[in-house]
Every structure is written in C-alpha cells, then in structure tokens.
Amino acid sequence: MQAAEKYMQRCLDLAVLGAGTVSPNPMVGAVIVHQGKIIGEGYTSPYGGPHAEVNAVRAVIQAYGPDQAALLFAESTIYVSLEPCAHHGKTPPCADMLVHHGFREVVIGCLDPYARVNGAGIRKLQEAGIPVLVGVLEEACRFLNRRFFTRIRAQRPYVILKWAETADGYFSPKGGEQRWITNKASKQLVHKWRAEEDAILVGTTTALVDNPELTARLWHGLNPKRILIDKHLKVPDHAAIYNAEAETIVFNAKRTDWKGHIKHIELENFDLYLPQNILYQLYLMDVQSILIEGGAQTLQLFIDAGVWDEARVFVGPETWGAGIASPSLSALSTYSEKVGNDTLKWYYNEANR
C-alpha cells in the first residue's frame, strides 16, 4: 500500500469513531504526518463540536507546544477523508484554519457535495499556495459517508432495511405469534446498528404485536429517534415505543401535536407516496439515516417505492415450512458473513448508489 493510501486508511479508521454522534455532519478523520511519522490525528466531535482537522491540529499543539507545532506544520502533510469545509457553520471554516497554519500539503479523500463547500475548500487552499491532492481512496471515503451524501443529493435520509428470516424464507408466524429467528449475538448487533443511525421505523402491527422499545439498550450509544407509522393511532399511549427513553415521531392521518418527547405529524392523502413523504419530513428534521425494522408489509412498502439504499438480512438456521413470507428484494447479495449460527446477508440498491 502506498504511503498516501496508508494514511488515508487511518483517516477512515478514525472517522468511524464518530458514528452515531456527528449527524447531520459527515464522519471525517484527519492525520498529520511529518517526515513519515504521524504527529497528530483526530476525528469529528459530536455535532456542534470541532471538526477532525481542528482536533488533529490541537493534538499536535498539545504534544509539542505552539511554537514547535508551527514549525512542524510548515513541513507536514495533513490527510483528511473529506474536503475541508469552507463556510461558517457551527464552527469556523477548516480550510481557513489549514491556511493559517501553513501546511506543506493537503491530501483529501473526496469532495464534499454540500453546496457551500463542493470545491470551495480546495480553492481556498490552492489560492494560498498549498498543494492539494484529491482522490486518495476516494470510493472508500464516499462509501463511509453514504448517509451524508444521500441526504445532500436525494434530500432524504439514507434508508437501511433490516429483517430476519428462516432458512426457508419465512418472516414471521401467521396469527400474530411471536417467535425468535436469530441468536443473541445477532440481536446485540442490531442494537449496535441502532446506535449508529439517527432513526428507526416500524409500523402499527409491529408496535402492537411486538411492543418494542426500539432502543440501543444492549449497546453503548445513543438511542435513535423512534418513527411509528400509525394511520389511525391504534397504538395505545402505554406502549413501550412511547416510553421516555427516546423521542417518538408518529406519522398518522388524524392530528398534529407535540407533547414532550412525542410528536404527531398528520399527513394529508396519507396513502399517497407514503414512504417518500415520510422521508422528506424526516429530511427536514435533519434526520440523515433511518433503520427500517418494521413488519414485512412496511418493509415491502419502501422496497416497492424504490427508496431504500441498503438491506441487512439475517437468515436463521431453522425451517418452519409455513408462515408469512419475507419481503421480496430484487437485488443480489453483495456479501455475507456468519454471526454465530446465523448468516447475515448485505444488499445494496445499485439504482441509488
């Protein structure tokens, strides 16, 4: 692996440490290299805090002192997985900060698609006489921030479908019976995923039959916003989905109000373009990603509308011989892995990549 790729890979490894805390910002990692040695590194702080480049610069100043750090920056290359920002948001522009410290070179993984950046950060650096290299591990850098890119370009959250099915393709028993398909390790993995996404969605039937909390209680991390599709408001107020562990947003056809951590949003023409309307409303709320954990009908609704990006399907070892069939997905599995005695299959919607 070339040196630039090695350091950019380190940026990516750092960036993922911000999963579940930086949204709606992207996950970014930065590494400062002086004469072949990493002297500082950082990743984006929780939303509203310093960006990766700032944290990397601060690490050098803390380790070497401001005077020595100034000399080191002039002889150093900073690697960053996403183009440095060029505008004032929650924090000042990172591009200006890099110019101020006079870095010898800046190496960037991929451009930022946000309209107020999108090349402007690079121009600021180049106009200051700093050489810039763009496109190192570009595909991997773009994939890391697929949620951010989707929100900017498609004006909707990145949609991840998740379900479990038996070895013979059944999703659940008929008649409302509850029956586990996957093992404990798979269940804990799902809670990890919940902590990494902004929101999680189910429909009325799942909320009534399974009475889920939809929290990340089996993993260290923040609980996602809970999204409930409940057209006629059938789910009772004492349901677990309404507990105080997280915010709950209810899309319905009856009322709009906001009481504490529970928000009801009435949709006109409820059944017309329902998935698209829900996703656009969530986009307006700065929700960058959503995990769909609903029943087969809810999952199929998003599949048929074409507004899904990724699917994670657990296949358990049991065969039932009868039951409710799993959702139908017209995509080939990209890869699979074992989670104990379960098989986890990953799918991507190539039409939306």
Cα 258 to Cα 248: distance, rounded to the nearest angstrom: 10
The reply to whether 198 sits in an annotated binding site is no
Residues of the chain within CATH 3.40.430.10 domain(s) are 157-348
The reply to whether 230 sits in an annotated binding site is no
Residues of the chain within CATH 3.40.140.10 domain(s) are 1-150
Report pLDDT for 174: 86
Active site includes 337? no
> Which of the following is catalytic: 5, 41, 53, 350?
53
Q: How far is CA 284 from CA 22, 253, 280, in A?
A: 17, 19, 6
The reply to whether 255 sits in an annotated binding site is no
CATH 1.10.357.10 holds for 157-348 = no
Report pLDDT for 119: 83
Cα 119 to Cα 83: distance, rounded to the nearest angstrom: 8
Report pLDDT for 115: 65
Report pLDDT for 1: 59
Six-digit token string for 263: 């928000």
The reply to whether 210 sits in an annotated binding site is yes
10-residue mean pLDDT profile of the chain (353 residues): values are 92 97 96 98 95 97 97 98 82 90 97 80 95 97 97 96 97 84 96 97 95 95 97 98 98 97 97 97 97 95 97 96 93 90 96 86
Query: Which CATH code fits 1-150?
Result: 3.40.140.10
Report pLDDT for 320: 95
Q: How far is CA 281 from the centre of its chain?
A: 17
Helices 296-305 and 274-284, interaxial angle, to 10°?
80
Cα 145 to Cα 26: distance, rounded to the nearest angstrom: 6
Six-digit token string for 68: 């020595």
The reply to whether 85 sits in an annotated binding site is yes
